[in-house]
Amino acid sequence: MNTKLDELLNPLEVHPRWPFDRLKQFAAEKSLNYLDAYVVAVTGTNGKGSMVAALEALCIAKGLRVASFSSPHLLSVTERIRFQGQPVSESSLLAALKTVLPLADELGYFTALFFTAIILFQAQKLDVVILEVGVGGRLDPINIVDADLCIITQVALDHREVLGDTRDAIAYEKAGLMRKGAWCVFCEADRPKMVDDEARRIGAKLVCLGRDFKVTQSYGAKSFSDELMASVLAINKRWPLTLDENTVVKTLLNIQPLGRCQLLDTEPKILLDVAHNPAACERLALRLKARGLSPDVTLCQFKGNKAVAESLGFLRDQLGEVFVFPKLGEKMLPPEAMQAVLHDVGIAAIRPFSKLEIAFDEALSRAPKDGVILVFGSFLLVGAVIALLKGRGLWITKPNAV
């Protein structure tokens, strides 16, 4: 359904993102570079959305007023701007967007939404604001706001055309969010040297998984990895919003980020995951094995600029029959190319369909009641399937996680 928000935002997709210096100057001129709150900046190849959800939940448990800006969205653009974990209303977003757009010509989609979020956040009395990077960090629009805490969830190879072809190059971009004297928590045991180098150059206080804190137990969290749980506990000791450890663990055990290894208790079960790069697909493969899940049918789709063959290679023996359908957006890999990649990685059980809806209905009828349908890849696909589930009355309010 085309909404007034779509009418304003969709044309912005063609506008290139501004150079960072221009962004900084524009934000300073329009007073859009400051938030009167404790600011957390979150970057990382994977795990950003889960980290944002975890920190939101902790703030709410503490009784704090929290807002967040994240991307992309699954069902509605309103998901990108949240207050107390809930999406902003469409009317509020529309009104703020109409304030932003006349300020400059050719604002891009992401940048316009970011400045819209700043306007909405500045209008509220907030204790904490969590800003999730779009791509990288150093040159991302959110970096115009000085963060009190920087979190790097992971450094892996993705967005290579923008960030570079090595982990050190990508780490350099992500480390650009660090600030002198402020904490930076690195949530991965395998840390590129560039992270330490940049922390020393900038003067940030770096805390790292594997060096300064460790995974000491299996927390049994279905929604979050043990590494993320340990990292959140480390963050909890460094920011001024400390909760006792039992409350942190109990809070995180009870939340499920939308579309992140989300297992629906339907017949057949449906597993939704936005894994769309090699590192995320490798983790998905490990989670499937750990839980003893063997999908009968898989629906997947990727953007054309992703390392699709490498991603699928981690899952080649776990996908069952793979259903292919027309691309859901201009940037998606065409179905013929998708089939070719599947063949190249050794997946022979492939069925083409003329529409996603037809493929999904066939998956529901083909998989046994005690079976599993796996839906993974792009946010567009996972969001479209969630919409189908809601339309068919199959969506449940408290889904499980793998």
DSSP letter string over 210-266? Answer: TTTB---S----SSS-HHHHHHHHHHHHHSS----HHHHHHHHTT---TTSSEEE-S
- Tens digits of per-residue pLDDT, 326-346? 999 989 999 999 999 999 999
Distance CA 328, CA 333 (A): 9
pLDDT reading at 400 higher than 70: no
The full set of domain ranges for the chain reads: 4-252, 262-401
Distances in whole angstroms, Cα of residue 78 to Cα of each of 3, 94, 226, 297, 378:
12, 10, 30, 31, 19
How large is the average pLDDT for residues 362-384?
97
CA dihedral in degrees (317, 319, 320, 322; nearest 10)? -130
Per-residue confidence band for 223, with pLDDT thresholds at 50, 70 and 90: confident
Q: How many residues are given for the chain? A: 402
Q: What's the mean pLDDT when you consider all of the chain? A: 92
Neighbouring residues of 200: CB distance < 8 A, sequence distance ≥ 6: none
Per-residue confidence band for 2, with pLDDT thresholds at 50, 70 and 90: low
Q: Which CATH number fits domain 4-252: 3.30.9.90, 3.90.550.10, 3.40.50.10320, 3.40.1190.10?
A: 3.40.1190.10
- Tens digits of per-residue pLDDT, 10-37? 999 888 888 999 999 999 999 999 999 9
Nearest to 273 by CA among 328, 315, 327: 315
Instruction: Return the pLDDT at 191.
Output: 94
Distance CA 52, CA 41 (A): 9
- Tens digits of per-residue pLDDT, 308-327? 999 999 999 999 999 999 99
**Cα 208 versus chain centre, distance:** 21
**DSSP 8-state class, residue 17:** P
Neighbouring residues of 390: CB distance < 8 A, sequence distance ≥ 6: none
Residues 23, 231 contacting (CB under 8 angstroms): no
Token duo for residue 389: 């589930």
Instruction: Return the pLDDT at 397.
Output: 52
Instruction: Return the pLDDT at 84.
Output: 97
Distance CA 61, CA 63 (A): 5
**Architecture field, domain 262-401:** Alpha-Beta Complex (3.90)
Output the pTM of the full model: 0.94
φ, ψ dihedrals at 332, nearest 5°: -75, 155
Distance CA 58, CA 323 (A): 39
Instruction: Return the pLDDT at 98.
Output: 94
Distance CA 246, CA 223 (A): 17
How large is the average pLDDT for residues 51-78?
96
Token duo for residue 216: 């000491």
Instruction: Return the pLDDT at 104.
Output: 84
**DSSP 8-state class, residue 2:** -
Nearest to 112 by CA among 93, 88, 127: 93
Distance CA 293, CA 198 (A): 41
Distance CA 115, CA 128 (A): 17
Distance CA 308, CA 225 (A): 24
Per-residue confidence band for 399, with pLDDT thresholds at 50, 70 and 90: very low
Query: At residue 53, what is the residue type?
Result: A
Instruction: Return the pLDDT at 217.
Output: 79
Q: Do the first three CATH levels of 4-252 and 262-401 match, i.e. the same topology?
A: no
Helix (H) / strand (E) containing 27 = helix 20-29
Share of the chain above pLDDT 70, in %: 97
Per-residue confidence band for 398, with pLDDT thresholds at 50, 70 and 90: low
**DSSP 8-state class, residue 294:** -
CB count in 10 Å sphere of residue 246: 8
Of the listed ranges 73-87, 94-108, 375-389, the one predicted with least confidence = 94-108
- Tens digits of per-residue pLDDT, 135-180? 989 999 999 999 999 999 999 877 767 677 899 999 999 999 999 9
Instruction: Return the pLDDT at 297.
Output: 98
3-state secondary structure at position 106: coil
